[in-house]
């Protein structure tokens, strides 16, 4: 092998190592199993509901029995909302969705902590991130616009096509925190 060929190989290896080091996987430590491939608030106007959705992309083959446990900061205050999702090795991604949320404030960061566990419950990886909404909870209607799978209009909203009812019960947001509340993945 010539010196020129050897030099090109070394340059290529250094470039590959540098590019790999620049990738932010949101992992603690080395050898991460997953990286965040997407995260957003979903405002489902038709159902009058908002949720967190985080999608993880595997960085290497997944094993049987693994689970992802996500702790989502509750915008209304109180304890984090915890979701456990089985990881299916044959799927190309893992989607984590929170229960319905209330009191979401536009441009406020909310904490999310995810742990990946093996079949025995040992934590293999943790991922901490935040998410901000570009919308406020007030964009949602007071009640679902439809009541069934046939998209039957909600009779409670007759005369209110925007879904806003005068005097409708609003969620209590008095316990919502002003600062980013730390959450930790369930152990």
Q: Is residue 63 part of a domain?
A: yes
Q: How many independent structural domains does the chain possess?
A: 1
**pLDDT computed for residue 27 by the predictor:** 42
136 secondary structure, DSSP code: -
**pLDDT computed for residue 183 by the predictor:** 66
Positive/negative CA dihedral, 171, 174, 175, 179:
positive
**pLDDT computed for residue 170 by the predictor:** 79
Predicted confidence (pLDDT) per residue in 113-161, tens digit: 999 999 999 999 999 999 999 999 989 999 999 998 898 999 999 998 8
Report the distance separating Cα 120 and Cα 125, nearest Å.
14
- High-pLDDT (> 70) share of the chain, %: 78
Whole domain around residue 130: which residue ranges? 24-157
**pLDDT computed for residue 22 by the predictor:** 30
- High-pLDDT (> 90) share of the chain, %: 55
H or E segment and range at residue 94: strand 94-97
Q: Is residue 19 part of a domain?
A: no
**pLDDT computed for residue 186 by the predictor:** 56
Q: Is residue 7 part of a domain?
A: no
Predicted confidence (pLDDT) per residue in 39-76, tens digit: 999 999 899 999 999 999 999 999 899 999 999 999 99
Worst-scoring range by mean pLDDT, 8-22, 96-110, 138-152? 8-22
**pLDDT computed for residue 161 by the predictor:** 81
Cα–Cα nearest to 44, from 132, 91, 104:
104
Among 3-17, 92-106, 167-181, which range has the highest average pLDDT?
Answer: 92-106
Q: Is residue 166 part of a domain?
A: no
Query: Phi, psi at residue 99, to the nearest 5°?
Result: -65, 175
Q: Is residue 185 part of a domain?
A: no
User: Mean of the per-residue pLDDT values for the chain?
Assistant: 82
Q: Is residue 118 part of a domain?
A: yes
**pLDDT computed for residue 23 by the predictor:** 33
CATH of the domain at 153: 2.60.40.10
Q: Is residue 1 part of a domain?
A: no
Task: Please report, for residues 86, 127, 138, 146, the alpha-carbon distance to residue 28 in angstroms, rounded to integers and kept in the order given.
Answer: 21, 7, 36, 43
Q: Is residue 146 part of a domain?
A: yes
């Amino acid at each position: 092998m010539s010196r020129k060929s050897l030099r090109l190989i070394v340059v290529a290896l250094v470039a590959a190592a540098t590019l790999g080091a620049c990738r932010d996987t949101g992992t603690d430590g080395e050898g991460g199993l997953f990286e965040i491939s997407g995260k957003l608030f979903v405002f489902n106007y038709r159902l009058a509901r908002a949720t967190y959705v985080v999608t993880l992309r595997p960085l290497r083959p997944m094993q049987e029995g693994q689970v992802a446990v996500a702790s989502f900061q509750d915008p209304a205050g109180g304890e984090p909302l915890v979701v456990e999702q089985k990881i299916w090795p044959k799927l190309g991604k893992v989607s984590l969705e929170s229960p319905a949320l209330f009191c979401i404030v536009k441009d406020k960061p909310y904490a999310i902590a995810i742990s990946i566990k093996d079949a025995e419950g040992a934590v293999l990886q943790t991922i901490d991130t935040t998410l901000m909404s570009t919308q406020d909870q007030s964009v949602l209607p007071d009640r679902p616009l439809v009541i069934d799978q046939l998209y039957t209009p909600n009779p409670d909203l007759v005369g209110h096509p925007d879904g806003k009812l005068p005097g409708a019960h609003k969620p209590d947001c008095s316990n919502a925190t002003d600062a980013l509340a730390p959450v930790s993945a369930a152990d």
